[in-house]
A = this chain, B = another copy of it.
């Protein structure tokens, strides 16, 4: 089981959509590398292989409320970075993310892919109060009014972010290799919403690892028609919910493969 954790920075943080500065993204990547984050503890305890993939953190995307997030070339680069992260030897892939400002990006992708406005999809993220959520929703609405999206590639390019495009690329590459994927929380699921909008069956190889406490996630899972493995009010990102769900899935597979049949164990069948 491999956890691929993508990190990106977002120009939209200029609009004050997160209580934390963008510098936290690179600081958390360092923390992942030194083993101090939640996903490190989970990966160690559960025996998962963690890969951290920062994507041009010193070059944030465009502020989506005023301009496109990425050029065509940058979008392709991010999609391909995600595809390259798919380990052909893995039996299960968990995708996760880190990026200050990316719940704003996630909400914009949901609105552009599935309908609704900013307030339908915006949540507290790393800890906005309700006034902060209303402001965030307005920023998303400005982005939606500005963009002219058509199809998943343009949604990801105009309104997305590098780590979200990478997740979309990884999910597609995993599908091509018949590798099952566990999605983490709201941002991870939002990253594949543009794919789902174009072709719902594209997520048939994906499980929802958990239902996050981030506001839009329950609604998004309903639209995907995915029942989450876990429902523990987690809301951290980093692939943390997906990693924990991977332990449950691995145990289920072990049970399926290791159990003896009733006949094999000499257990009597039903009386009737």
Contacts and interface: CB of A to CB of B under 8 A. Distances in A.
Nearest to A46: B251
Contacts of A270: 19-20, 127
B271 A20 contact: yes
A248 B255 contact: no
A30 to B, nearest CB: 7
A24 interface: yes
A41 B253 CA distance: 9
Among the interface residues A19, A21, A34, A260, which one has the most CB atoms of the partner chain B within 10 A? A260
Copies assembled = 2
A158 interface: no
A interface SS class: helix
A27 interface: yes
A34 B260 contact: yes
Interface string A225-256: 00001111000000010001001101100110
Interface of A: 19-21, 23-24, 27-28, 30-31, 34, 36-38, 40-42, 44-46, 127, 229-232, 240, 244, 247-248, 250-251, 254-255, 257-260, 264-272
